[in-house]
Structure 1
Amino acid sequence: MAQGLTLAQVAESTGLSKGFLSRLERDETSPSVATLVQLCQVLSLPVGALFAEPEIQKVSRTEAPRINLGGVHVEEHLMSPRGESRVQLLRSSLEPGAHGGHELYTVNCDVEVLHVISGAVSVRFADRVVELEAGDALTFPGREPHTWNAEGDSPAEVVWVLVPAPWSGSA
């Protein structure tokens, strides 16, 4: 499917039956090594890709790199791996009065999600302000001009999810 091929096209290219390929997809039969090699050739996949373990990376909060994306009175940590380009996860500890700057800004990503873990935060857009409390989440286009403020006299903890990752983490 990822390559835009139908089951019939793969069957024709490999000489295998559609029924066999369907059973293989549903894990109802086991192919021979020769059949796996043949399928990999048709799908332009290295045979080793079938046996590779998924890449799993842990980032502990205590060892997460501290970053500075321009917020005032905020401590930010990169919680996703530095080289991850598909998504970026930031954990921010906001002091009372913390803010993202007085001017609206944009982030070079398709989607931003702000999840408030504790405290209260407001997000200001050109035409409105959205108030968030602990447990709330807000999803919006990253290219939408915005800024944020920690509300009240208590600190706040928030998580930002940015898709795709706008910052490589290499700096």
Structure 2
Amino acid sequence: MKPLPVQQPDREPELGARLRNHRLRVHITIEQLATATGLTKGFISRVEREQTSPSVTSLVKICRALRVDIGALFEEPPTSLVRLDDAPAVDLGGAGIHERLVSAPELEKAQVLRATVEPGGEGEDSLYTVDCETEILHVISGHFLLRTAGGDYELESGDTVTFSGREPHSWRNLGEEPAEVMWVLVAG
């Protein structure tokens, strides 16, 4: 039987960068990691900068100290593609707005909505809140008004405003053309 050709990935897994990310996530300095593993700071720094590869023994020590499974370092992180035409429609209220969920539906900590707001389209008359920690509104095109309890923000194409998800607000398209906006809702 003829051996099957094994295709190598186009790029090597960035082991050093992944180790550095795990170290930073658990708030450990290179010096603390060196002490915990018995390895030198210089060696760990070179590994993180992809200048050297750790032996299996060194990698095991680093992973134990970081409390990360070695296999997790070699897994490809999930990637999700949502095409605008295929994005599910959502309705968060308001008139003259067509919203689509353009982030991966399984995301729990962040949601990205792309909306087309017709001229004169507007949110509720009374200010409301959305169940999230932070909201980010980016105006792709058009002339848009964000109303908050603290004041109004007239936004033009390219403007972005970030505010607390607990801040009561509403909105309106002030222009004579449809406005394209992106809402990012971030959970706490």
- TM bucket (normalised to shorter chain) is 0.7 to 0.9
Q: Give the distance between the partners of 2:142 and 2:69, measured in 1 at CA.
A: 49
Bigger relative contact order, structure 1 or 2, given CA contacts below 8 A and separation 6+?
Answer: 1
Cα 1:11–1:119 change in 2 (3 A) is closer
For residues 103-132 of structure 1, what are the alpha-carbon distances to aligned partners after superposition, in whole Å with 9 as ceiling and x for unaligned?
101123232221222222111122422212
Task: Tell me how far 1:102 sits from its aligned partner.
Answer: 0.6
Cα 1:154–1:12 change in 2 (3 A) is closer
TM-score (norm 2): 0.79
Please identify which structure carries the higher helix content. Answer: 2
**Which residue of 2 is the match for residue 63 of structure 1?**
86
**Which residue of 2 is the match for residue 27 of structure 1?**
50
| Counterparts of residues 45-64 of structure 1 (less than 5 Å) | 45-64=68-87
Q: Which residue of 83, 90, 106 corresponds with 2:106?
A: 83
Q: Give the distance between the partners of 1:43 and 1:135, measured in 2 at CA.
A: 41
Q: Counterpart of 2:136 in structure 1: which amino acid?
A: V
For residues 16-69 of structure 1, what are the alpha-carbon distances to aligned partners after superposition, in whole Å with 9 as ceiling and x for unaligned?
222222222222211112221222122111111111112211110000010111
Q: Which residue of 98, 102, 111 corresponds with 2:121?
A: 98
Q: Which residue of 137, 142, 147 corresponds with 1:124?
A: 147
SS in 1 for 2:85: coil
Q: Counterpart of 2:168 in structure 1: which amino acid?
A: P
**Structure 1 residue ranges without an equivalent (≥5):** 166-171
Task: Tell me how far 1:80 sits from its aligned partner.
Answer: 0.4
**Structure 2 residue ranges without an equivalent (≥5):** 1-23
Tell me the C-alpha RMSD between the 2 structures: 1.8
Q: Share of identical aligned residues, percent?
A: 48
Q: Give the distance between the partners of 1:75 and 1:66, measured in 2 at CA.
A: 7
**Which residue of 2 is the match for residue 140 of structure 1?**
163
* Greater than 3 Å deviation, 4+ residue runs: none
SS in 2 for 1:74: strand
Farther-moved stretch of structure 1 (27-36 vs 2-11): 2-11
**Number of equivalenced pairs:** 165
Q: Give the distance between the partners of 1:19 and 1:118, measured in 2 at CA.
A: 49
TM-score (norm 1): 0.86
